[in-house]
Structure 1
Amino acid sequence: MIRIHDSILSTIGRTPVVELKTLSPSHARVFAKLESFNPGGSIKDRLALGVIEAAERSGALKPGQTVVEATSGNTGIGLAVVCAAKGYPLVITMAESFSVERRKLMRFLGAKVVLTPASEKGTGMVAKARELAETHGWFLARQFENEANADIHSATTAREILDAFEGQRLHAFVTGFGTGGTLKGVARVLRAERPGTRILVAEPDNSPLLASGIAQPRAADGSPAASHPAFRPHLMQGWSPDFISKLVADAAEAGLIDETVPVSGRDALAVARRLAEEEDILAGTSSGATLAVALEAARRAPAGSNILCLLPDTGERYLSTPLFADVAEDMDEDELALSESTPSARFAAAPAPAPAPAAEPEVDPQAATFIAEMSGDPGRPVVMFALEWCEFCWAARRIFQALGVDCHSVDLDSVEFARTRLAGTIRPALKARTGSPTIPQIFIGGTLLGGCSDLVEACESGRIAALLEAAGVGYRSPQALDPRRFLPQWVHPRRAAG
């Protein structure tokens, strides 16, 4: 039966286990637990819920108190989901090297994101989160040391795995490690209740923290005191920060790891792409790395073996990373050939004959008066006649926002404007006044600037400053502004070529 949930938080967990029938070798079965089915798109939703609710129970987190945490992104997204549902403000610290998609998702969900220099790695963002908590009296989630992180995985992830394989032998469980919550929480349950299951832990081949055997420098509270000497930058975001967390060290010291397996970034990317193409599962780079280790384990396993790997997140938050580097935005030769195989809507097609020009509609005097009053209103020196969902109108709004300029937008297609007597009369009147039928039309201090491309040119030439100053409008300097980055992505010089 389909359950009606009273909160998004009750949808966390109970993620599916899927058999990979195409990628698995013929003599063994490989299964993937898809943590992208959590509402925040990753396994870190479990961590976030466990840590916050444990802090509520203990009294460490007070109603309305700000939560702060250091994260590569997925924990921050999970915390943003949980904190939004429970009413806690959230501040995230994150190294600038992690994907832009993650920053935007956290901000979209209401969190503040404080970036730290990439050169200071994971320890830098952890130190920043600790300083912010101490300075402002915020609750620090401490995902890398917090036992509630491991506890939620023992209570949920591990139990779900046991339920999925009830009556079947599970020969191996494969996971990577970041905080170590999943590793410690799941491995200790499997060791107790399925002692025949081997625990395989994957880590980047060029950054072998666990395999090095070198102890992690650690502060008294268990947090990292410095970067691990074996750390090197690697492709697997969310995996293997520049230190071994306390929870990972706990799992190692308790004998919960049977084998540490190196995996290359090249293999991680290749397997993630194969997972999408051959199994129709969209997952990230760390998932590709985990699966690469699981597939290799399956190839070496006896006939009839069952291998389970945990895929921590979805692939959509990797669009700006090397995972999608070879995915083109423009049409390739095959796609162009398909486009040209039929006559309509082709970029290379000859333009259709222009229809006979229609008679120009008469200009409504009230529309002309409205335009004159709006464009010349000294209380609204920057006015744009626009459409609500036009991409170029959105670009112009964002440019003005970046300039710190309040732009009054008259949205001609809005429901509110459609109810007025002037609906349908403004565009002919605008064309009669400006000589252009296009939208948007921007006025500054009563002077016509033009459309979106004119605004871009004015920013690039510096002319925008003179117009705003003449109108008495304050603004941020346009010198460091790249207005073209606000244009629609399909506006591209090679667009017509595919």
Structure 2
Amino acid sequence: MKTYMTIEDTIGNTPLVRLQRIPGSLAQERGNVILAKLEGNNPAGSVKDRPAASMIRRAEARGEIKPGDTLIEATSGNTGIALAMVAAIRGYRMILIMPDNLSLERRASMAAYGAELILTKASDGGMEYARDLAMKMQAEGKGKVLDQFANPDNFQAHIDTTGPELWEQTGGEITHFISAMGTTGTIMGVGMYLRGRNPDIQIIGAQPAEGSQIPGIRKWSTAYQPKIYDPSKVDAFELIEQSKAETMARRLAAEEGIFGGISSAGALIAALRVAERVENATIVFIVCDRGDRYLSTGVFNPAD
């Protein structure tokens, strides 16, 4: 009998595509190529499908959880959606805690996968408050927190999958890797793998400029900095302005046909800045999710 894949088997192996118009002279005259890793092609629509599957599978293998258990996670959206999908596949009850100022599409996606959603007031402290509440619920015996911010299974997913994919897809020619920084699992894991293959590869993080609020890009206070994050493993940082990221998200869709989210556009801005400074480089950035996850925010609405 023929063996068929399950939906879980479709996580990863996402396309890597070349930008054709936006780079302009930065590519043609300087000999650079800018490549986009299309993580929105994962089944739940984001790069977070990888660590979500990794955290649940590995916790199962260690005997820490079993199907039927309750899992809890604080999320700004993409990890929650991915965990809700994997929980549905593998038979867990999923409780997700999210600030109420994040997009309606994210809430609806979590609910569609059967997760229970707890919305907290953004004015109470945003993601920091949500993280504290998740740990409080675990202490009260209400479920197991996977804790994407401190769980090495998060970045291990990118050591095992995303990094090797990029190395193979570029034929080892990648010179710069750029990612938005949220939980930092992507930049940590991919960076560790790539630097293990070539220590000269530059790892660059996109962070929000002062006063900017970009979903998926964070700069944490010292008290809440993810435990998986090691700043020594990032070579440089690019500060991204919210308005520029929103404009670039519209350009990415209209000029390249890539409908990505706002943090993806922020990573592209960082990639273009790098391309202004280097020559004959192969620059890869992560398109971490799909733009339709942000339609209710109005970012993609036509100008009046």
Please give the TM-score of this superposition, normalised by the length of structure 2. Answer: 0.93
1:238 aligns with 2:207: no
Whether the 8 Å CA contact 1:9–1:82 is kept in 2: the answer is: yes
Residue of structure 2 in register with 1:293 after alignment: 270
Kindly provide the amino acid, as one letter, of the partner of residue 8 in structure 1.
I
Cα distance in structure 2, aligned partners of 1:122 and 1:72 = 7
What's the offset of the Cα at 1:108?
1.1
Aligned positions of 1:295-334 closer than 5 A: 295-302=272-279, 304-326=280-302
Q: Residue 153 of structure 2 corresponds to which residue in structure 1? A: 148
Percent identical: 36
Aligned to 2:238: 261
2:257 paired with 1:276: no
How many pairs align? 294
**Aligned mate of 1:202, from 203, 206, 211:** 206
Q: Out of 40, 62, 65, which is 1:61 matched to?
A: 65
Are positions 1:23 and 2:22 aligned together? Answer: yes
SS at match of 2:216: coil
CA distance in 2: counterparts of 1:51 and 1:235, whole angstroms: 27
In structure 2, distance between residues paired with 1:30 and 1:242: 28
Offset at residue 294 of structure 1 (A): 0.4
- Asked if the contact 2:73/2:147 (under 8 Å) is kept, the reply is yes
Which of 1 and 2 has greater Rg?
Answer: 1
1:127, CA displacement in angstroms?
1.0
- Structure 2 counterpart of 1:159: 164
Q: Please say if residues 150 and 184 of structure 1, whose CA atoms lie closer than 8 Å, have aligned partners that are also in contact.
A: yes
Match status 1:111 vs 2:115: yes
- TM-score normalised over the length of structure 1: 0.57
Structure 1 residue 21: Cα displacement: 1.4
Q: How does 1:469-488 map to 2 (within 5 A)?
A: none
Q: CA deviation at 1:241?
A: 5.7
Offset at residue 327 of structure 1 (A)? 5.7
Pairwise CA distance, 1:137: 3.9
Structure 2 unpaired stretches of 5+: none
| CA distance, structure 1, for counterparts of residue 132 and residue 160 of structure 2 | 30
Structure 1 residues 306-335: Cα deviation after superposition (integer angstroms, max 9, x where no partner): 11111100000101224224467xxxxxxx
Matched, 1:136 2:112: no
Alpha-carbon distance between aligned partners in 2 of 1:40 and 1:263, rounded to the nearest angstrom: 26
d(CA) in 2 for partners of 1:246, 1:163? 29
1: distance between equivalents of 2:298 and 2:264? 14
Higher relative contact order, structure no. (Cα contacts within 8 Å, ≥ 6 residues apart): 2
Aligned-partner Cα distance in 1 for 2:14–2:259: 15
Q: Any idea what the Cα deviations from partners look like across 1:447-495, whole Å, max 9, x if unmatched?
A: xxxxxxxxxxxxxxxxxxxxxxxxxxxxxxxxxxxxxxxxxxxxxxxxx
1:274 Cα deviation from its structure 2 partner: 0.8
In the alignment, the residues of structure 2 paired with residue 137 and residue 81 of structure 1 have an alpha-carbon distance, to the nearest angstrom, of: 20
Q: Which amino acid aligns with 2:58?
A: A
CA contact (8 A) 2:180 2:216 kept: no
CA displacement at 1:136 relative to structure 2: 3.2
Gap regions ≥5 residues in structure 1 = 207-231, 329-498
Contact 1:121 1:242 in 2 (8 A): no
Task: Answer whether contact 1:202 1:263 (CA < 8 A) is retained.
Answer: yes
Corresponding residue SS for 1:157: helix
C-alpha spacing 1:272/1:62, structure 2 compared with 1 (3 Å) = same
Counterparts of 1:59 and 1:137, CA distance in 2: 18
Q: What's the CA shift for 1:94?
A: 0.1
Query: For the residues of structure 2 that align with 1:171 and 1:241, how far apart are their CA atoms?
Result: 25
Structure 2 residue aligned with 1:489: none
